[in-house]
Amino acid sequence: MAATPNLIAMVDEMNRVTYTSASLAALAHIENYEMTAGRPIIDLFPDINMKLVIGEIVEAEGFYESTEEFFLNGERRYFKIISDRFRGNIGGRFIDISDITPIMTARLDAEEANSAKSIFLARMSHEIRTPMNAIIGMSELILREQTSPAIHEHAAAVKQAGNNLMAIINDILDFSKIESGKMEIIPVEYEFASLINDVIRIRQVLLNLLSNAAKYTNQGSIIFTVESARNETGSITLKFEITDTGIGIRREDMDKLFGDFSQVDTHAHHGVEGTGLGLAIARSLCRSAGGDITVKSVYGEGSTFTAVIPQGITKEGPFASVADSETKNVLIYERRDIYANSLVRSINNLGVRCRLALTGEELVKALGEDRFDFIFAASCLFDEVQDQIRKERIDTTLGACGTLVNFCMNMQKIHKRNRTRSVRGS
């Protein structure tokens, strides 16, 4: 009653006011709206046409409804009027439905100002990037050419600060591009194998989610999986899932995460830098491509961010295959079990048998029991395996786990040429 702009009144059987809204009291020039009680309702309305309508309402047996035009303080205003009688008392309201043009104009002005702000931000960020590149590039040159440890240290600090600032500027640039509607998503063909490297928008989303996972996880693991599901139309939806064992997110903070410049639980960040724009940008990018990002988290235990993006298919076929896969046998020697298991799954997906050794004893046992075409070992365990195969005179091809994907794709070639006996790569 105190706040509504509508003119509301309750009257008794004698048509005397029992209660009005503050806006009606103001119309009758009564300062305190609680002081209207006891007055004849007709007295409160200054306008003769309004008084006529009140007369009609009072005469009416029950429900009354109409739309009227009045001139109040020289202004044309429209009201929808509804009232009803209950045990002799009348409750009625005049709802102002006047022209909303001024409100709409004000809103459009505000939107225009917001868009001008975004364009300004975009231009500024762009202008700042050029000299920033020079600063970073020049400090890089100093780092290469200078031998003095003190100058080296200072130049490294300049470069680091420059890179941090660049990351912030890039975020603002992207954000303002999205806000001002200048971010375009263009459909192009790409090879699935290079998805994460070459498809800039997808890479940006994943880099953001992965670097957040790394930033907010002090201990444990980060698991990144890619899956796809076929849609009814023949296209596919890619599902990227990033699960960390980090600080987690409070339930009440979940809705805020994707807001602009929004950081939550900052005291738990321990000096981690950020603008709070990353997730807002990542979600906008996904949504403009017809997808979305969602999150699940247990505070103190970790979070799972899931990005889904629909993609069309132009040509179909496996992007990695192994000739005579069923005849091949692979051994993985890797001590981190989550990583090791994901490698085993990758090899199995190619239709190749795979045995896992998590310890030195398991390695020796496996080599004694089985014959392996390929052995993949963690870089730090590489020498151990090499010594073992030399000692036992085992004929196999040894590679580092990090090169496994390339191996899978090139297995056939390597096998045919039969030349690389030991490859160590990154």
* Residues in contact with ligand ADP by the rule CB under 6 A: 208, 212-213, 216, 244, 246-249, 257, 262-265, 274-280, 303
Taking the complex as a whole, how short is the minimal distance between the CB of residue 168 and ligand ADP, in angstroms?
9
Sequence-distant (6+) residues with CB within 8 A of 294 are: 305, 306
Nearest position to ligand ADP, beta carbon: 274
**Residue 27 vs 247, nearer CB to ligand ADP:** 247
**Residue 91 vs 276, nearer CB to ligand ADP:** 276
Yes or no: say if 52 and 69 are a contact pair by the CB < 8 Å rule. Answer: no
Taking the complex as a whole, how short is the minimal distance between the CB of residue 244 and ligand ADP, in angstroms?
5
Collapsed DSSP state (helix, strand, coil) of residue 233: coil
Taking the complex as a whole, how short is the minimal distance between the CB of residue 186 and ligand ADP, in angstroms?
25
Taking the complex as a whole, how short is the minimal distance between the CB of residue 372 and ligand ADP, in angstroms?
38
Yes or no: say if 199 and 222 are a contact pair by the CB < 8 Å rule. Answer: no
Quote the tokens at residue 398. Answer: 């040894």
Using a 10 angstrom Cβ sphere, with 0-12 exposed, 13-18 middle and 19 or more buried, the burial of residue 42 is middle
Taking the complex as a whole, how short is the minimal distance between the CB of residue 196 and ligand ADP, in angstroms?
18
Taking the complex as a whole, how short is the minimal distance between the CB of residue 201 and ligand ADP, in angstroms?
16
Yes or no: say if 77 and 100 are a contact pair by the CB < 8 Å rule. Answer: no
Alpha-carbon separation of residue 259 from 174, 264, 279 (angstroms): 15, 10, 8
Ordered DSSP codes for 28-97: TT-SSGGGGTTSBHHHH--SHHHHHHHHHHHHSSS-EEEEEEEEETTEEEEEEEEEEEETTEEEEEEEE-
Collapsed DSSP state (helix, strand, coil) of residue 376: strand
Sequence-distant (6+) residues with CB within 8 A of 375 are: 330, 331, 332, 333, 385, 389, 396, 397, 398, 399
**Residue 293 vs 385, nearer CB to ligand ADP:** 293
Taking the complex as a whole, how short is the minimal distance between the CB of residue 222 and ligand ADP, in angstroms?
9
Taking the complex as a whole, how short is the minimal distance between the CB of residue 132 and ligand ADP, in angstroms?
18
**Residue 173 vs 249, nearer CB to ligand ADP:** 249
- Helix H or strand E segment including 375: strand 374-377
**Residue 213 vs 375, nearer CB to ligand ADP:** 213
Taking the complex as a whole, how short is the minimal distance between the CB of residue 65 and ligand ADP, in angstroms?
51
Q: Name the packing angle between helices 149-179 and 101-145 (round to 10°).
A: 160
Taking the complex as a whole, how short is the minimal distance between the CB of residue 166 and ligand ADP, in angstroms?
14
**Please, what's the b/e burial string for 381-420 (b: 16 or more CB within 10 A of its CB; e: otherwise)?**
bbeebeebbeeeeeebbbbbbebbeebbeebeebbeeeee
**Residue 106 vs 207, nearer CB to ligand ADP:** 207
**Residue 92 vs 274, nearer CB to ligand ADP:** 274
The C-alpha atoms of residue 374 and residue 81 are separated, in whole angstroms, by 85
Taking the complex as a whole, how short is the minimal distance between the CB of residue 265 and ligand ADP, in angstroms?
5
Task: Give the position of tokens 């309750």.
Answer: 10
Yes or no: say if 158 and 140 are a contact pair by the CB < 8 Å rule. Answer: no
Total count of residues recorded for the chain? 426
